[in-house]
Chains A and B, each alone.
Chain A
Amino acid sequence: MFACIYIPNFSVAAALRAEPELQAHPVAILEGKPPLERVIAVNGKAGGLGIAPGMTKAQAELCPELALRLRSAVQESSSHSALLDCAQSFSPCVEDTASDTVLLNLAGMESLLGSPAEIARAIAERAVQLGLSANVAAAVNPDAALLAARGFSGVTVIPPGKESEKLGSLPVGVLFHDHAEDDKIETLDRWGIRNLRALAALPNVALSERLGQEGLRLQQLARGAVMRTLVPVEPPLVFEEAVELEHPVVLLEPLAFLLNRLLEQLCNRLASRALATQELRLTLELSNLTGVDDDFENIGIPSESDGGVDVQVASQIVSRRQTRFSRVLRLPLPMLDAKTFLKLLQLDLSANPPGAPIMKILLAAEPARPRSAQGGLFLPPSPEPEKLELTLARIAGMVGEQRVGALEILDTHHPEGFRMRRFVAEVARKTPQRKNPDAADASSAVTALRRLRPPLRANVTLENGQPTRVMCPRKKEVSGDVLWKAGPWRFSGDWWEREAWARDEWDLALRNGEAVSFYRLVHDLLGGGWFVEGMYD
């Protein structure tokens, strides 16, 4: 068995997929360069109001409730990709017949997915989930399924052997999807052949004498007797959704509304292919306002030079003319939650605003295998990755992107030899098994240093080259006579770099009134200053 998915009125369907709120309104699609735009497609409601393809824009605008949309190649491409995703979620053998039509082979699927009728219904439901209203037909040969899908709305299943009977009522127009063959329709119409039953009943010889082999092929199609093999395609795993805006967006709330729609479409497409994503790329095309460059320079629009180490948001490209703004959201684990993605994008955009009105939104997802981890019954709890990402993004919005994460010790003797990296909580992370984890090293704690960031500059009184009194003007409590000292311990490093450092370290006990505290005092041998670097606590 073969199935065909056909999207009637594809241009309108693509527009309605991008703007579902237009479902209840009359919609007409325009094409052409201004001022020569013409209506190329209308939905049923617009047809009821008298709007027809071929009208000029000015004629269509006479109908006040009509929603006019320019034909969008981006939206049609997204819809076609969604159509392919829908088909691929049911069968690996899919033929990309036309932008609005795909054929799929259902052989062997009955044991997995049920009868052809059930599969066809499931395909129609999946198409609705992906934002497309599709006609689905199943038949024993692909062309019969295709004609049935183009001719009958909803779900149609043609039992084997009933092709001619079932297709007979269809008009001959379904055989000619391309307008280039209108002359054949005209010829058949002159003969009084108006449906497929009449065409199928014509004598073969007489038909071939008049229309040649093409006539015989059309007759075979009308009888539902053409058997051919599909030309399967392997659609590339490209998940992109876009929306072009008629009016520029300048606030986050309406942008979030649009992003939510795109993310839901993307997540539905990924889910239909049993995939998740680990990277989201948001590209905003901005309105090119001339003469505002000076303003942009003073409003803190992030530039490439501002970018620090790659953490969550990896790249940000803002051209000088402010025409394109890109953000890349990298996730530690594959996820598939539109709400989480939306919140992360919102947080990111509020921290890094694009700086100009937005005219077009393009959102792409890099597919990844969904994570498969099973938490152990006796494992300690760990944060949920989606929740944790949101939490970290919110905290990063408060304290800064580079100030939240996990520690990583660097292979250096530098006193601040560490860097921050992304914190990832994996449920299935292997933990070193110990017989009694609490008994290990529990007998003694390590004397910890509390760092003062930045180090406190100190006035140090020396006696025989050794500190005897320390005064910190910025922090009075870090002052006093030196009761006890150990040092100096000399360290140096990175002499081959511009940031060379050399220092003497002292461990001191300072008496400040009644209290005695222990500090690390540092003498910068290159800069010449004294600093209190931290406190032993």
Chain B
Amino acid sequence: MKGLDASGDLGLTPQVSRPLLARGLPQALTPVLAATSVVYLVAVTMAGAVLRARRARLSLAVGVYASLTLAACGAIAGIGRVGSTRAVHLHHVSLLQQLPGTDDSVLTMRGIAEFPAFDTFSLRLPLADAMIATASPTTTTDQIVDAEGFPVVTGLFGMAGRQSFAGEAVVRLHPLSISEHGRQVDAANESGVTLRDCRFGRGLSPGRIGTLAPGQSVSASWDAGTAEDEGPSGPLFSCAMDEAPVPLTETSRPVVMHGTTTVVAYRQPVLNGTPGD
């Protein structure tokens, strides 16, 4: 990591920024609320029309109206607690930086969790060597770990409540395999998912690759005069993937991750310092 930092490659890697979310209820809840409201409205209107047309008894009218209102209360209270609405939606922008010469990568994540119901939640990043910092009104940042030592985003949140956080972790994961043979650089997709927006770094051609299917490999060569001589050049190869490398988990609810992870691979830095560096 220090070698990468000294080489300047890290500084030239675009960093993650917090995802932007529009105001309003979460997209997962809005259609359910709209549908429930329409059903309630239609039911009350139809009941009113039928009861008036049939000149129904008062007890029947009261019973029907009370039943419809109670049913609507139950349906609305159930939003975020049953079915697909139970899921916690997590919007993230992540960066997975493969550490050359190791099997590890550094994962940096900025995210916003959207909670589906008024309840206590505990979102866990299931990695021991990780941290999550959340903004708090009382302090600048909070870093909380659960009983097993995993970092968590936890608290009592209202329906559609949001909590932004930043996370960092070291993960044993290398979706990209990079090899250099003379002036040629080979990159292969070793993940199980399709990578998109792939590109080689500065000084390599072709630069833009596009999509890289699982198992597929591509090659590029250094442009004339730009081989191993130059200073910082940034990532050697980068791709974007729609899957989160490490999904967060919640004890009693599913977590749906939305966002993009940028995977970057670097050249093996030339270490000039002592081994202790």
Q: Judge: A and B partners, yes or no.
A: no
Binding site for A on B (CB under 8 A): none
